[in-house]
Amino acid sequence: MSIILGCIADDLTGATDLAMILVREGMKTVQVVGEPNTDTPAPDAEAVVVALKSRTNDAQEAISMTINSCKWLQSLGAKQIFFKYCSTFDSTDKGNIGPVTDALMSHLECSSTIACPAFPENKRTVYQGYLFVNDGLLSESSLRNHPLTPMKDANLKRILSSQSSATISNLYFEQIEMGHEVISQAIAEKETGPRTIHITDALNDNHLRSIGKACKDMKLVTGGSAVAQGLPLNFEEQGFLSSRKEEQPFSTPKGPSVILSGSCSEATRGQVNYAQNHIPSYCLDAVAILKNEAVAEEAVQWATDYITAGTPVLLYSSADPSVVKQIQNNQNQVDVGSRVEAVIGKIAQKLHALGASRFVVAGGETSGAVINALNVKTMSIGPQIDPGVPWTTTIVDKKPIALALKSGNFGTEDFFIKALNQLKQYDIS
């Protein structure tokens, strides 16, 4: 089956978020985990989302992974490429959003694209070129303390100009508000060189749909997942997508539930605190992990009786940013994160072997570690738990499991408990 839309996400939770939106908008969508190769089977889908782990990689490595994924999607017939990054524009002064966008534009031989991280449903908006989170500037949010990609500037043009060799322009609220025809005209008028990236204001979903409609003829679109909601209608109007489809039926096997949290975000820490009052919980000591102590083995031993009894459990390494910073002062921060993630991945693997079949995972890097440990290759998208976070299903060791992969900053305070309760209506024997 020839696909229509090819998507590349720079982390796993973002890929799942994007796939959920495309499913909701009527496209048959499959998520592929990791960089595909010539042996990766072609999914039976209209849209394919490739989930990479490239956000904090070396820029050249991220570019290589992305371009290889793009070539694979093109080989399946993709008529448009979507590069998805976080709605909080998570990156460093060197990238990887700018370098990857430049490389995609060069590969696809396109002179212009957009950059639209806005996700109004999750309180991420762009106004006058500034990114707002929960009604405050990005630089004043908890993201300023992110251990790997601290976002200390809310001016998207300034951020992207430091990363990209393209000309960076702004399309402001007044133009966006006037609809897709004005947006298209403004894009054409602002192209001043071989490559131009247009940062678009967006305060609501109507703006995003107008922006998406204006991108009808673009070879490349970049942004957060929410702007993709405007793309399926373009394909329908062009005759590539016959009609909108109902969401696919969803069911999940019964079995023990496990919540694994490695995110240190403010939102996730609140969710951990809430869940601790409802289910048994176990704290994974980052210092002990760095000392190579048997943290995974001890955690699994603690959880075994609960898993056997079918009782949900929470295992978390989430800590206050000040604690994380203190640990990182004595260790390489990437090494600290990767070692904690490896332990959580090992725990997931061992608990699955004990019978756990439902996993809620918090944190993009943590989700990647769990998916790799369980050797997940593709995922089917299910119902939304909170904006940007759906349940998914996959097959591990020939048995179905359910996965909810949450970006650190997404979800309400009761997210973990709500996610587990939601599955009761989808139980199968």
At residue 190 the predicted structure's pLDDT band, cuts being 50, 70 and 90, is: confident
Q: Are 159 and 138 in contact (CB under 8 A)?
A: no
Lowest mean pLDDT among 243-257, 284-298, 374-388: 243-257
What is the tens place of the pLDDT at every residue in 386-428? Answer: 999 999 999 999 999 999 999 988 999 999 999 999 998 877 5
Question: For position 330, what pLDDT does the model report?
Answer: 56
The token pair at 223 is: 């942004």
Question: For position 321, what pLDDT does the model report?
Answer: 57
Q: Are 351 and 366 in contact (CB under 8 A)?
A: no
Q: Is the confidence at residue 429, as pLDDT, over 50?
A: no
Average pLDDT over residues 208-237: 96
Lowest mean pLDDT among 93-97, 137-141, 315-319, 351-355: 315-319
Q: Which of 280, 253, 261, 259 is nearest to 357 (CA)?
A: 253
Question: For position 328, what pLDDT does the model report?
Answer: 57
Average pLDDT over residues 376-384: 93
Distance CA 414, CA 108 (A): 43
Question: For position 428, what pLDDT does the model report?
Answer: 57
The residue assigned the tokens 């979903």 is 205
Q: Is the confidence at residue 124, as pLDDT, over 90?
A: yes
DSSP state of 141: S
- Is the link from the previous residue into 96 a cis peptide, with omega within 30 of 0? yes
Q: pTM (2 decimals)?
A: 0.89
Q: Are 47 and 7 in contact (CB under 8 A)?
A: yes
The token pair at 149 is: 């990609």
Q: Which helix (H) or strand (E) holds 361?
A: strand 358-362
Phi-psi region of 89 (alpha: psi -120 to 50; beta: other; left: phi over 0): left
Cα 57 to its chain centre, rounded Å, is 15
Distance CA 91, CA 113 (A): 19
DSSP state of 241: S
DSSP state of 371: H
Question: For position 78, what pLDDT does the model report?
Answer: 97
- The residues, any chain, with a CB within 8 Å of residue 38's CB and separated by 6 or more, are none
Question: For position 243, what pLDDT does the model report?
Answer: 61
Q: Are 316 and 261 in contact (CB under 8 A)?
A: yes
Q: Is the confidence at residue 115, as pLDDT, over 60?
A: yes
Single-letter code of the amino acid located at 227:
V
Distance CA 176, CA 114 (A): 13
Q: Are 399 and 254 in contact (CB under 8 A)?
A: no
The token pair at 143 is: 């993201």
Average pLDDT over residues 137-155: 92
The per-residue DSSP string of 59-71 comes to HHHHHHHHHHHHH
Beta strands in 317-357 (DSSP E): none
- The residues, any chain, with a CB within 8 Å of residue 211's CB and separated by 6 or more, are 114, 116, 176, 180, 183, 200, 202, 227, 230
Residue scoring higher pLDDT (248 or 72): 72
Distance CA 351, CA 343 (A): 12
DSSP-based helix, strand, coil % in the chain, nearest 5: 40, 25, 35
Question: For position 113, what pLDDT does the model report?
Answer: 97
pLDDT > 90 in the chain, percent: 79
Question: For position 425, what pLDDT does the model report?
Answer: 84
The residue assigned the tokens 């490896």 is 342
Question: Mean pLDDT score of the chain, rounded to an integer?
Answer: 92
Q: Is the confidence at residue 217, as pLDDT, over 90?
A: yes
Q: Is the confidence at residue 170, as pLDDT, over 60?
A: yes
Enumerate the β-bridge partners of residue 378.
32
Count the Cβ atoms, other than its own, within 10 Å of residue 245: 14
Q: Is the confidence at residue 348, as pLDDT, over 90?
A: yes
